[in-house]
Structure 1
Amino acid sequence: MALVKAGIVVLDCAEPEKLAEFYKGLLDTEETDANANLVEITGAAGTRLAIRRDANATPPSWPRPESSLQAHLEFLVEDLDEAERRIVGLGGRALETRGAHGPLEERQYADPAGHSFTLRLRPSTAPKQE
């Protein structure tokens, strides 16, 4: 029997209520728990995320090395372009969305507080065509 039943990713930022709005919009969910210093949300697919108040939080600088990657999230999506439009509409920003030869299979973004995350195409379940 597993000792740990579930995990949750916790992001620190100065204004957790505002950052929770971004992730609630991205994950199509509502908050499941909140207090003065923490907002927890659970996405429809079971993704659990909490945003904790830290008045001294500084955004990660990824991809620059100083205070680089403090945490990294990956979300599987079926349409990168549609997901990108939603992220920008919610206040996120692109870090790296296209390579020299067209769309990548994954794209990097930052949420409104500066935490980086990746959108990755969900692997196709269709048989490979030769």
Structure 2
Amino acid sequence: MIGRLRAVTLDCPDPGALADFYSELLGMPVTRRDHDWAGIGDGTRPVIDFQRVEDHRAPDWPDPDRPQQMHFEIRVEDIGVAHERVTALGARLLAVSEERPDNLYRVYADPAGHPFCLEFTA
């Protein structure tokens, strides 16, 4: 091992708003918030930081001209309940895959346009 992951940083137009979104989604408290930077973490996992980028150009999954760049894969216990909660927080459903009843996933965009997946495995 060369090193350990400390943080993942996402570019976005509003760091505080995106920190609030992922704080609620992942159950990690907001640990830093200022005009250009916000972060969430719980001390047991790498932190997730959000940095302001003027003229942010959001991904447009699955458009290869504006690729996803990165995404989170988030395992959930109940995909229906998780869907309701993330859309209430401002996520947008992009795609659904229910090909196998024992492995369901859905692709969403967070409020800044970054794709993430919710996955349920029976």
> TM-score band (shorter)?
0.7 to 0.9
> Structure 1 residues 77, 68: closer, same or farther in 2, change over 3 A?
same
- CA displacement, residues 32-68 of structure 1 (integer Å, 9 cap, x when unaligned): 1233321110158735211111012111011111111
- Across the aligned residues of Structure 1 and Structure 2, the Cα RMSD in angstroms comes to 2.4
Give the TM-score normalised by structure 2: 0.85
Report the counterpart of residue 128 of structure 1 in structure 2. none
> Structure 1 residues 117, 12: closer, same or farther in 2, change over 3 A?
same
For residues 77 and 45 of structure 1, the distance between their equivalents in structure 2, rounded to whole angstroms, comes to 19
In the alignment, structure 2 segments of 5+ residues that lack a partner are none
> Structure 1 residues 81, 103: closer, same or farther in 2, change over 3 A?
farther
Identity %: 33
Q: Does 1:15 align with 2:14?
A: yes
Give the TM-score normalised by structure 1: 0.80
Report the counterpart of residue 5 of structure 1 in structure 2. 4
Q: How far apart are 1:88 and its partner, in Å?
A: 0.5
Please identify the structure whose Cα radius of gyration is greater: 1
Deviates most, 2-11 or 101-110: 101-110
**How many residues get paired?**
122
For residues 10 and 70 of structure 1, the distance between their equivalents in structure 2, rounded to whole angstroms, comes to 12
Contact 1:27 1:43 in 2 (8 A): no
In the alignment, structure 1 segments of 5+ residues that lack a partner are 125-130
For residues 110 and 102 of structure 1, the distance between their equivalents in structure 2, rounded to whole angstroms, comes to 23
Q: How does 1:56-67 map to 2 (within 5 A)?
A: 56-67=55-66
Instruction: Tell me which stretches of 4 or more aligned residues in structure 1 moved more than 4 Å.
Output: 98-104
